[in-house]
Amino acid sequence: MVDKDQNKGHTEEPENASRRDFLKKSGYAAGGVAGGLVLGGLFGQFDTAEEGANSDQVEQLQNARTFFKRREDFETLAYASERIYPEDENGPGAIKLGVPYFIDKQLAGYYGYNAKTYMKGPFQPQKSGEYGLQTKLNRGEVFLHGLRKMQEVSQKDFGSKFAELEGEQQDEILRKFEANEIKLKGVQSSIFFELLRQTTIEGVYSDPVYGGNKDMQGWKMIEYPGPRMGWANEIDAEEFLSKEPMSLKEYQGGNL
């Protein structure tokens, strides 16, 4: 696994030098996900170029789109989530943490299909926000509507794909959705934005078993130690205790 020795505090860059160089050269680390990189290449590099055939490969095999059919939708999602939680000197951003795959997996399950949500009509989608989610669309459909509209706005305003815009331009589009200035069918654009923002953060900080928080790097950045039996012996400690994180898998006792 990566970065056993590379994460001593949240100010430290948790990536190894060569990858950092690669990122800088590719224009990724500077100024957002700028210019010309196609996602396939980007993910391809991240997934295979340096880590090679180590234990990470299993995890990689688990990272493929199962909800998003069109690659373009997934690309837009990935670059949007990266603007919400960008890579910086503290550590990786949404893409490297696996957040797009996290969201894909969430949408492929009961959450995306609103299986535990009351879904009987009549619907008043315009009352969403005031009364929580009121759309007839399920969350997966909300994402598809929103992401495709982002693409459309991107072409219209800047003449190119969302994924290929400068970070600032991407932010401009996201802010329009956040402020509900874009019209979507069946849902407010601000509701879509909130879902995007919420699931991005969840992908950064939830247990790696869900596909994000790659190698617990989200937890390392925020110095969160993960699940433990308990803290009965440390609960009254005066000093802040920074601990190496433990995953749910390890907490549950590893493999059967």
Q: How far is the CB of 40 from another protein (least distance, A)?
A: 25
CA distances from 53 to 48, 96, 99, 240 (A): 8, 18, 22, 38
Closest to another protein by CB, 51 or 134? 134
177 touching another protein, by CB under 8 A: no
Name which position in 5, 55, 132, 159 contacts another protein (CB under 8 A).
132
CA distances from 124 to 57, 76, 165, 177, 216 (A): 46, 28, 35, 19, 40
41 touching another protein, by CB under 8 A: no
Residues 62, 71 contacting (CB under 8 angstroms): no
16 touching another protein, by CB under 8 A: no
Name which position in 147, 206, 215, 217 contacts another protein (CB under 8 A).
206
Q: What are phi and psi of 176, to 5 degrees?
A: -65, -40
Q: How far is the CB of 213 from another protein (least distance, A)?
A: 8
Residue 6 per-residue DSSP state: T
Name which position in 52, 159, 253, 254 contacts another protein (CB under 8 A).
253
Q: Return the number of other C-beta atoms located less than 10 Å from residue 25's C-beta.
A: 10
24 touching another protein, by CB under 8 A: no
Q: Return the number of other C-beta atoms located less than 10 Å from residue 108's C-beta.
A: 15
> Binding pattern to another protein, positions 134-153, x when CB under 8 A?
x-------------------
Q: How far is the CB of 17 from another protein (least distance, A)?
A: 22
Which of 205, 201, 216 shows the shortest CA–CA distance to 84? Answer: 201
**Range 67-96, binding another protein (CB under 8 A):** 83-86, 88, 90, 93
Closest to another protein by CB, 128 or 151? 128
3 state SS of 132: strand
* Residue 234 backbone class (left: φ over 0; alpha: ψ -120 to 50; beta: rest): alpha
1 touching another protein, by CB under 8 A: no
Q: How far is the CB of 175 from another protein (least distance, A)?
A: 10
DSSP assignment of 82-94 equals: HHHS--BTTB--T
176 touching another protein, by CB under 8 A: no
Cα–Cα dist 179/177, whole Å: 5
User: What residues make contact with another protein under the rule CB under 8 A?
Assistant: 10, 83-86, 88, 90, 93, 111, 115-120, 122, 124, 127, 130-134, 171, 174, 178, 197, 200-202, 204-207, 210, 218-219, 221-225, 227-232, 234-238, 240-241, 248, 251-253
